[in-house]
Amino acid sequence: MVITQRRHSKIIPVAGGKGGVGKTEITAALGLRLGQLGYRVVMIDLDLGGSNLHSTLAIKNRNPGLGNYFSDRSLAFETLVSPTPYDNVFFVPGDVLVAGMPNLTFAQKKSLLKHVENLDADYVLLDLGSGASNNVVDFFLVSNSGLVVSSPHVGSILNAYSFLKNAAYRFLQRAFAKDKEITAYLRKRVRERIPGKPTRMTDLIDGMAEVNTEQAAKARRFVNLLQPSLVLNHVRSVDDLNIAESLRELVSKNVDIYLQNLGAVAFHDGLASTYRTTSPPVLAEPGGLFAAQIDRLAQKIVQSPEFPTLALDTNMYEDSYALTRIELQYDQANAQQTAPSDGAISESDAEEFLQVMAQQRKQIQELQGTVRMLTMRGPG
């Protein structure tokens, strides 16, 4: 596992425990915004068996990709890195041109990781497949700074929880693969899982201490390395953040991982139509809410030199969830301010209407000032 805090080149896997949460759209938009800010970005389509990142980027997939690389040993990985029409953004296609590549051997994954680590880039974004298969989890564990994209629906949130739980267990299984006693213990505990009665990570490691105290202490340090971030997508109201906070508590309680919040992205009825254009959504509507919210995600990353550790000012707000709540409140107030009227205002109501508008404008200005102070700003 790459410890991202220690590297100039940040490797950020992007996963989603459930399909349809907008994982690929978030990956593409975030990568494009980082490129606009002047950073060299490489996006890799690792959704093996369903690669479509190129479509979201509005580019044609005519270059060899990972499928070609794994099926043709003479092909150098460096030749897969292709320029795009967008400044500072490079792209490695997936396996869409080569069938039968959804599963990779351990040796193939190890080889790929070596090349990913050596890429000349400020940020490397890995667009992973949905679900929690070993391939997806292993790619998520390439670094300790993965993003988990979820919508604010119970099914999606539970899938995000399941994904993080499986990732933590998989991490320990891989870390102690050469220790036969610990491996046997972990396998036994997995087999003994009782539905409705989750095994907590703290209990698992306490049991490990009965087998080997030193290895248990190492396991605790390993789990503490994991610093995933949540991106809540398809948000319709500030209240949607409540379910994200419940997820944070569940992950902390049972997996012993603190899931921070990188930010939220609002549901947009018209966003899907922009995929029929020749420009990605974040570029098609540069002054829109989607672009502004993606910019916040990017700014938090670039303003955190030791990302995934976020450079937050907790003197002004409690944590990353409190900051996201402030941002959503600002967006909601701004949307109410700019919403079109359904009908004319009668003359008798004009004075009252203007008073309300003036008050709303004042509140929005105050919120806007707060967001400027709380949301970190970067170059560009």
The domains found in the chain, sorted by start residue, are: 4-310 (3.40.50.300)
Q: Are 141 and 1 in contact (CB under 8 A)?
A: yes
Mean pLDDT computed over 35-57: 92
Nearest to 64 by CA among 137, 51, 103, 120: 51
Nearest to 282 by CA among 27, 51, 90, 102: 27
List the structure tokens of 179: 């220790």
List the structure tokens of 343: 């009908």
Q: Count of CB atoms within 10 A of residue 62's CB?
A: 9
Burial group, residue 370, by CB count within 10 angstroms (0-12, 13-18, 19+): middle
Which alpha helices (H) appear in the chain, and where do they start and end? 23-36, 53-56, 66-71, 106-117, 134-140, 154-175, 180-191, 201-211, 213-225, 241-255, 281-284, 289-302, 320-338, 347-374
Mean pLDDT computed over 197-204: 87
H-run or E-run covering 92: strand 89-92
List pLDDT tens digits, range 84-110.
999 999 999 987 666 656 678 888 888
pLDDT grade, residue 339 (50/70/90)?
low
pLDDT at 377: 47
- Report the DSSP beta bridge partners of residue 263: 231
Q: What is the mean pLDDT of the chain?
A: 86
Percentage of the chain modeled with pLDDT above 90: 62
Q: Are 294 and 29 in contact (CB under 8 A)?
A: yes
DSSP state of 198: P
pLDDT at 165: 94
pLDDT grade, residue 380 (50/70/90)?
very low
- Of 21-35, 98-112, 357-371, where does the model show the most confidence? 21-35
**Residues in Cβ contact with 221 at an 8 Å cutoff, skipping those fewer than 6 apart:** none
